[in-house]
Structure 1
């Protein structure tokens, strides 16, 4: 009996110990603390999780050996809404992995993390896509987790003079990084920037790039909103892409998904029932979607915390990545008006939805004036007009009518005009293809109309008709959008499974890039025509006029554009038989056929032209250079490095694009400092600041060297490290360093093919190692700067040193002589 009592007592003692261990300290975090990681210094952070009604939370990470102890138990705020913990003794620049253990059972990552590690998908990301990825702590946790570091690499932005293109001149290129080129990385887009510039695409709209479930995706299944998906490359590459776009005058727009999240989102997982349904106490999500077409879990945007969260998301990408705008996916779903499965009810004018959207819009514009905000609303026109007149740009889907017209059937293009929708401003982004729509070229070649020998399905005819179709898209005033590869007449069906079969299940599947289409004369001629039209839109004022009209309901279509400087008339026969078309020139006189270069006189305004099927003309009353649309002559899109001495010399490059890479050799002298067991390393912008990946080579004279490959003209920032981990790096003196934006300095050099060697430096100094005694008279050794500096105090040490240079010399005697005869009081 005594033994049983002892066991029971011991059990209660253990229970009491665990209860105390799970009772967090009640204390409010410091004022201004935000959810997520708050960097206090290079060695200290506060991490905060908002999780109302959760009794206790452990913060487990590398900084506490993933332990579950009193030291990892997070404090709880007095209102019970947040758990937080300060972590000290961190090494600046080191990645720390961490996650939250909620009430002893639920493992989640940090919803505000900027880099997550995924146990299921990271292993399938090629190392070349994301070099230096931290390793997932297998065996410790089994869900996506978070990382942070306190000393993040500083990206050298050079885009501060960039001016966004005017909204009404935008020709947006919608792009899916996954399919754009074979590498599925941001570098593929960087390599094609000359092509974008040639084509006249002055904005690139990336389909969602924040972390999504899996690796191969359109991105509309997001989970972590502050982390770029690793499959496309590190954050530094995304920044480089934006920076390089801005250098060419190209804006970058991100597709974002505020309507919903998917099941691995920590904010979803915090409050779910046993069936995976969001529970009623979830502050962020509805238990059931408020509208018919909501995939995933539906955000409640009437909730103040959701507003706060999304305002942080919007601000983050604009500030951190210098993007220029957003395309808001499924914006019509941002409402708490429950339409159930009734699409017509969902489409009704919804003032609450308008109010939510304008709250976000106002916040964005107050912090980042001029930001593009595009809505994929696809709702009734009365609501879209209210949004457009308030500054939003609206997706204007015209796929059916453009497709019907291109195939030779009846299609009404009049609704492509912002004026015909009653808008006050040109805020309608008209498009005929998007990622959600079938390819016009595919429909043309399979379902096109014909009459006699004229057949729109014939390949060369279909490409010619796409020229005409694009002309009627791009010349209508207002912003326009082109879907990836449309400019080449891409004719792989959206439902193509890649194995000869077709299915709606393959809509989201990977599609082959077809850059070899640039070698097909008919497709190249189409691309050149679209390029000429895009540049006209941006360079000739008449194409942004408010004074225009469309007669585009029949098969013979006409557009009139008027301005004080220039007038234009576009005619086209979309039928499969000849038509008589009266252009309706505004006055008699000389006119110019832009694409042929021919001039002609208009003497009778009622004159009709006999127009063959598929024939079209753009007439201007001002002469302009005739554009090159010859598909037999390639455009200069094969750019590369043309210097044979460079590491990346491209013998087939048609012109040099400034990407030549050269080896620069750096030297290090450790002086009296003993090298670490791992040996000296270097980390820098050229290798994503990974401290362990670039060891230095010991030379015969006892110094160390390393070769760095980087692009000509770029600034390479770096630090020497006595070892292979952060915490062992040198302290670079300000006199020879570049400010890293974090209170310290990095070494740097500019890549110059004529200077391929940086002189030797001593660890933590600006010059060679040596005894401070080598400083000359009147100077002293300054440890902080690593330089000999003038000693202003030496003049007081020796009274005869009148000029204060630290030595008595002829100069002091001359001062005495110059004062000879002076009366002294």
Structure 2
């Protein structure tokens, strides 16, 4: 096969005349592809040198399932390397596998919900369903077994922690060794595609967490890939000066090198094109756009890379979502690329999670700050209330020195009354504040302790705390406007109109266009003291129906079932609103009204 008829693409490319191979190794003197198809003999299939350091060969004898490596001869010796674009590997230190990317997507016509209607459930494949009685525990198929639970809960999007091939059998996933390969311990690439198709059939989108701020650092075959490096650093795929330094190792990709930029873009696009994911979440974008947190030195080419990837996704996969974890209060992350922003649809919001967690884990009522709670409810990065993902638990918030919220509230009794009441109070803030709500695996049944990649979710608690599961389901139903009378929770507008620091009561109004079926009033009591016949303002007169009371005894026998009822407002200015009514609310509780 001549250069003129060379197959386009990188890595191993299946076609009718065998398998084509292409690799970028600009400092190699000779490159061969070796594998099970040629007895690992470097003399049988030498690769032709192409422009700009690329090497190419077509192997008629190669087939799907064959294992292979690239053999590079350089001034610094001979190296066997895993294909950087390998769609499948035997392990993080093993061989690449010729993989057929085709899959039967027939019938998969799923579209992700509008961003203001998303409810995200973050999970870790290895621990989500790792019970002893599960056949393929800790794999994608085991997650599929729980899709019914998530569907009944009202979840319409799953965010999966990174799944790129990593070192060892267990990991959070933020140490990617091969970013194009799906980890075999989770079931590999075919299992991931099957899982996505099943999730889509259940009406659930799949958002994947990706790691581009660093690679590895262990089992990293990209390190000094073709033998070249400077200053003892990583070679062609990495910065070779102090820009390489990250909190996870000296392995920051070189965002200014065209081939590396293409490598990362190709990876992002692969998840949409070959796996039909509905969105991706970028880990720690601040370490893509700047060197570190201390000197704030920008990496302009990192910023332009984010803009490029987001622009390509928006152009080719409209409606799909990209989410940044930046946590630096950076409004430009979610501004449009054309306005100079990075173009993300949304970002994880540190301005919400920290004050809300603090409000419920603080032991003394008088120390709770309603001002901080108000600011967390109202905060927005730009003009869109849904350019932030809000949560009280995530994989970061329940590890790295912190535990799950119930554990933080009461370490001695994380399943007791205080832990239940105040953790569900935080959850109610998540589902009634403007933003895209997210919960972390097991949060809906009081999963305790702290997150570790070796400890499975305790699904026995799902039955034990079935009332708390119902509480989450009811909140999600209201947030999703499932019954058609809480559209305001999907709307852009919020007014915090009542704050009583003495009694620790806060009330706010959510609406989209306003009016019956749209206006929603939320009253939250951050005190142990019950409030009876408590007067607050309402935006309009008439009958307001109680849609939710977190103190209801049906959620837990130990709850007070404090008397809360539907109300009829009276005309008269109160809290700056034209009407008022008396409401009753239990300890550490939330009540929600709509017309």
Check 1:29–1:308 CA distance in 2 against 1; reply closer, same or farther (3 A cut): farther
After TM superposition, give the deviation of residue 187 of structure 1 in Å: 1.2
Matched, 1:599 2:587: no
1:386 has 2:386 as partner: no
In structure 1, what is the equivalent of residue 36 of structure 2? 62
TM-score by length of 1: 0.61
The reply to whether residue 395 of structure 1 matches residue 344 of structure 2 is no
Higher relative contact order (CA 8 A, sep 6+): 2
Gaps of 5+ in 2: 131-136, 399-403, 550-563, 572-578
Structure 1 partner of 2:587 = 613
> Does residue 1:572 correspond to 2:524, yes or no?
yes
5+ residue gaps in structure 1?
1-24, 122-142, 448-455, 495-507, 622-825
Deviation per residue, 1:401-439 (Å, 9 max, x gap): 222222344242334446544433521111111101131
The answer to whether the 8 Å contact 1:53/1:81 transfers is yes
Within the alignment, does 1:171 sit opposite 2:119 as a pair? Answer: yes
Secondary structure in structure 1 of the residue aligned to 2:37: helix
Offset, 1:550? 2.9
Separation (CA, whole Å) in 2 of partners of 1:381 and 1:437: 20
Query: Normalising by the residue count of structure 2, what TM-score does the alignment of the two structures yield?
Result: 0.83
Match of 1:68, SS? coil
Which of 161, 170, 188 is residue 207 of structure 1 equivalent to? 161
Does the 8 Å contact 2:229/2:236 carry over to 1?
A: no
SS class of match (2:222): helix
| Corresponding residue to 2:59 among 63, 67, 87 | 87
Alignment of 1:315-394 (within 5 A): 315-335=269-289, 337-339=290-292, 342-343=293-294, 345=296, 353-384=302-333, 386=335, 390-394=343-347
* 8 Å Cα contact 1:210/1:227 also seen in 2: yes
- Residues 758-808 of structure 1 show CA distances to partners (whole Å, capped at 9, x for unaligned) of xxxxxxxxxxxxxxxxxxxxxxxxxxxxxxxxxxxxxxxxxxxxxxxxxxx
- How many angstroms apart in 2 are the aligned matches of 1:176 and 1:572? 32
Q: Rg larger in 1 or in 2? A: 1
SS of the counterpart of 2:158? strand
1:181-192 alignment to 2 at 5 Å? 181-182=129-130, 183-192=137-146
Alpha carbons of 1:114 and 1:290: their partners in 2 closer, same or farther (altered >3 Å)?
closer
The separation in 1 between residues aligned to 2:194 and 2:231, in whole angstroms, is: 40
Tell me how far 1:113 sits from its aligned partner: 1.0
Residue 302 (structure 1) shift: 2.3
User: Displacement, 1:457?
Assistant: 6.9
The answer to whether the 8 A contact 2:488-2:518 is kept is yes
| SS of residue paired to 1:266 | coil
Q: CA deviation at 1:199?
A: 0.7
Change (3 A) 1:380 1:469: closer
For the pair 1:463 / 2:388, whether they are aligned, the reply is no
1:172–1:203 Cα contact (<8 Å) kept: yes
Picking from 531, 535, 541, the partner of 2:487 is 541
Take 1:445 and 1:232, find their aligned partners in 2: how far apart are those partners?
Answer: 34
Residue equivalent to 1:528: 470
Residues 274 and 268 of structure 1, relative CA distance in 2, 3 Å threshold? closer
1:424 maps onto 2:388 in alignment: no
Any idea what the Cα deviations from partners look like across 1:692-747, whole Å, max 9, x if unmatched? Answer: xxxxxxxxxxxxxxxxxxxxxxxxxxxxxxxxxxxxxxxxxxxxxxxxxxxxxxxx
Aligned match of 2:558: none
Tell me how far apart the structure 2 counterparts of residues 39 and 153 of structure 1 sit (CA, whole Å): 9
Q: 1:256 & 1:509 partners in 2: Cα distance?
A: 17
Q: Deviations over 1:586-632 (max 9, x none)?
A: 123211111369422222535554644313211111xxxxxxxxxxx
> How many residue pairs align between the two structures?
537
Aligned to 1:111: 84
Once the 2 structures are TM-superposed, how far is the Cα of residue 525 of structure 1 from its aligned partner?
A: 1.6
Deviation of 1:535 (Å) = 1.7
State the match for 1:75 in structure 2: 48
1:584 corresponding residue in structure 2 = 537
Pick closer, same or farther for the CA change 1:29–1:255 going to 2, 3 Å: farther
Residues 659-718 of structure 1 show CA distances to partners (whole Å, capped at 9, x for unaligned) of xxxxxxxxxxxxxxxxxxxxxxxxxxxxxxxxxxxxxxxxxxxxxxxxxxxxxxxxxxxx
Distance in 2 (CA, whole Å) between partners of 1:177 and 1:519 is 21
In structure 1, which of residues 266, 273, 282 is the aligned counterpart of residue 236 of structure 2?
Answer: 282
Rounded to whole Å, the distance in 2 between the matches of 1:293 and 1:423 is 33
Change (3 A) 1:68 1:163: closer
Partner Cα separation in structure 2 for residue 372 and residue 543 of structure 1: 20
Separation in 2, partners of 1:570, 1:392: 27
Structure-2 residue corresponding to 1:410: 368
> Per-residue deviation at 1:328?
0.5
* Structure 1 partner of 2:456: 512
> d(CA) in 2 for partners of 1:160 and 1:544?
27
Determine which of 172, 196, 206 is the counterpart of 1:242: 196
Give the equivalent residue in structure 2 for 1:433. 393
Given that 1:414 and 1:420 are in contact with CA atoms closer than 8 Å, whether structure 2 keeps it comes out as: no
Instruction: Tell me if structure 2 keeps the 8 A contact 1:53–1:80.
Output: no
Distance 1:352 1:300, change over 3 A: closer
Counterpart in 2 of 1:231?
185
* Alpha-carbon distance in structure 1 between the residues aligned to 2:301 and 2:323: 19
Query: Does the 8 Å contact 2:214/2:246 carry over to 1?
Result: no
Q: 1:169 to 1:359 in 2, by over 3 A?
A: same
